[in-house]
Amino acid sequence: MPQHTVLIVDDDPHIRDVLRYALEKEGLVVIEAENGREGVEKARQCQPDMMIMDVMMPELSGLEACRELRQTSAVPILFLSSRDSELDRVLGLEWGGDDYVVKPFSPHELMARIKVMLRRLEQTAANASGVSAGPGAGQLSGLSPEASGLLSYQALTLNPQTFQVRWHAIDIPLTVTEFNLLQTFMQNPGRVFTRDMLSDADIFKDIVTERTIDSHIRRLRRKLTDAGYTQAIETVHGFGYRLGAES
């Protein structure tokens, strides 16, 4: 795995020490912040490859910090939290997180999730440079998308080389998961995707529930709608989702 930089944002120094040890053991560069406000500032200054962020913190909570970062950044964010309900997990995704791990956590499981997130970044970068990242890199098996070319549908454009999504002249910042999800829709315009198809498309980093997929869809739909694409993702009741026509 190429060397990556990970920003740890947690007000518990013991948790930061445990994470630093596990990450540096894997050859990763580690940056630390002890609250949400410092985490936002260091994320903007250092441009890490991903973030591990506690939910409950002083100054600025992890959710608030994530929402602030999502205005300008798509850096992958893995939330840590002692709250274990499905509602809390979905809320973390709704606010812009890419994954959610409950405390107390297994360092081995956490490291496995981090490696998956970083591999996905490498796959996306490989697609952008035209290098094959192997089967299943953000696309459905059996489909033949032009992974390295500019995609367009209606007034929506997606550029895998620059990771830029635009509606008319409006830039739309997306997370890695949202970008890969939209890319899958745009590679197959008009096709209806069931939740099982999206789950099998290697878009997500872990085993996901239907509610998790729905949460990612809602976030993507909201961002596109806010930019003016009001029919962005259509729900086909009883089946799944598809890219919508311009309103």
User: What average pLDDT does range 126-152 have in this prediction?
Assistant: 49
User: Is pLDDT larger for residue 149 or for residue 189?
Assistant: 189
DSSP 47-112: --SEEEEESS-SSS-HHHHHHHHTTT----EEEEES---HHHHHHHHHTT-SEEEESS--HHHHHH
Residue 51: beta bridge partners? 7, 77
- Does residue 144 carry a pLDDT above 50? no
- Does residue 54 carry a pLDDT above 90? yes
Confidence at 100, pLDDT banded by 50, 70, 90: confident
Q: pLDDT tens-digit profile of 13-48?
A: 999 999 999 999 989 999 999 999 999 999 999 999
User: Is pLDDT larger for residue 221 or for residue 201?
Assistant: 221
- Does residue 223 carry a pLDDT above 70? yes
Helix H or strand E encompassing 157: strand 156-159
Compute the distance between CA of residue 99 and CA of residue 82 in angstroms, rounded to an integer: 14
The pTM (predicted TM-score) of the whole model is 0.58
> In the chain, what are the domains?
5-126 (3.40.50.2300), 135-243 (1.10.10.10)
State the distance between the two ends of the chain, measured CA to CA, in whole angstroms.
44
**According to the model, what pLDDT value does residue 5 have?**
94
User: What average pLDDT does range 211-240 have in this prediction?
Assistant: 86
**According to the model, what pLDDT value does residue 145 have?**
38
Confidence at 129, pLDDT banded by 50, 70, 90: low
Least confident of 52-56, 116-120, 147-151, 211-215: 147-151
**According to the model, what pLDDT value does residue 6 have?**
95
